[in-house]
């Protein structure tokens, strides 16, 4: 796991994916997953989106590979009176039976995983006709190789795709239909700044990592964007 991901875990950053919770809410409203069908939040982090779904009475389950993040998600659910099943596991080896979910939500998770294995597993646990809802980092234009390597090394990305490459990869792994979504400011409600659930003891190096993240995002803002999509099995 990259130091960046370790930093997110220790600081308990919620909504670290592009667009934060406002994007999640707007995307879920557009995608409109069936309210009575099971949803998997794959790579749930601190459980912010899953809690939102839980309050809407969706039957949601979460999984995350980071035990610190998962404990923070469980604490959130308990504090908010939500009974959401939580599992420790990786996208590449999901601990669920085939055809278990009607919807899988992936918010800035695939980029940090082995994309081929993760998409195969997501396809496996989805019911026929089920949907994958995703928000992922994506290049807005080609990035010079040296700078691209710097970004991938710092963040721990296994892939840094543009939107077309994301769509091609998803279709290549068993999804029959894909569509990209554009969210406009009027689609989103105001959300507070990013929430944190900070661990008690944090090495100063992770504060440096947080600052480096802000610096890189500013330096490469012309290249870095996001891709929002829905794919159907």
* Cβ atoms of residues 221 and 141 within 8 Å: no
Query: Per residue in 150-180, pLDDT tens?
Result: 999 999 999 999 999 999 999 999 898 899 8
Spatial distance between the Cα atoms of 50 and 109, rounded to a whole number of angstroms: 15
The dihedrals phi and psi of 95, each to the nearest 5 degrees, come to -85, 50
Domains and CATH numbers, the chain: 3-232 (3.40.50.150)
**Strand residues in the chain grouped as ranges (E):** 39-42, 60-64, 86-88, 101-107, 126-139, 177-180, 224-232
Can you give the pLDDT at residue 137? 92
DSSP classification of residue 222:
T
Can you give the pLDDT at residue 61? 98
**Average pLDDT estimate for 9-17:** 86
Is residue 191's pLDDT more than 80? no
Six token digits for residue 92: 């590449």
Three-state DSSP at 212 gives: helix
* Cβ atoms of residues 122 and 91 within 8 Å: yes
Query: Per residue in 34-77, pLDDT tens?
Result: 989 999 999 999 999 999 999 999 999 999 999 999 999 999 99
Three-state DSSP at 153 gives: helix
pTM of the model: 0.92
- What is the Rg, in whole angstroms, of the alpha carbon atoms belonging to the chain? 17
**From 5-19, 22-36, 181-195, 212-226, the region with the lowest mean pLDDT:** 181-195
Spatial distance between the Cα atoms of 129 and 146, rounded to a whole number of angstroms: 41
Can you give the pLDDT at residue 20? 81
Q: Which residues on adjacent β-strands are paired with residue 230? A: 133, 179
CA distances from 139 to 28, 60, 146 (A): 23, 31, 15
**Average pLDDT estimate for 184-210:** 77
């Amino acid at each position: 796991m990259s130091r960046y991901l370790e930093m997110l875990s220790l600081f308990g950053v919620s909504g670290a994916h592009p667009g934060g919770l406002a994007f999640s809410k707007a995307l879920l409203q557009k995608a409109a997953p069936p309210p009575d069908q099971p949803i998997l939040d794959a790579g749930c982090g601190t459980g912010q989106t899953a809690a939102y779904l839980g309050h809407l009475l969706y039957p949601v389950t979460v999984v995350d590979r980071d035990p610190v993040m998962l404990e923070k998600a469980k604490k959130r659910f308990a504090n908010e009176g939500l009974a959401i099943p939580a599992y420790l596991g990786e996208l590449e080896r999901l601990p669920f039976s085939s055809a278990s979910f009607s919807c899988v939500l992936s918010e800035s998770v695939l980029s940090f995983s082995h994309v081929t294995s993760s998409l195969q597993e997501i396809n496996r646990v989805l019911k026929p006709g089920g949907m994958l809802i995703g928000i992922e980092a994506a290049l807005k234009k080609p990035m010079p190789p040296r700078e691209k390597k710097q970004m991938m090394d710092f963040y721990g990305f296994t892939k840094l795709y543009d939107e077309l490459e994301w769509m091609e990869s998803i279709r290549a792994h068993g999804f029959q239909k894909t569509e990209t979504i554009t969210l406009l400011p009027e689609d989103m409600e105001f959300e507070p700044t990013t929430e944190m659930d900070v661990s008690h003891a944090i090495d100063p190096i992770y504060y440096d990592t947080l600052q480096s993240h802000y610096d890189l995002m500013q330096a490469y803002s012309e290249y870095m964007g996001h891709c929002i999509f829905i794919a159907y099995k």
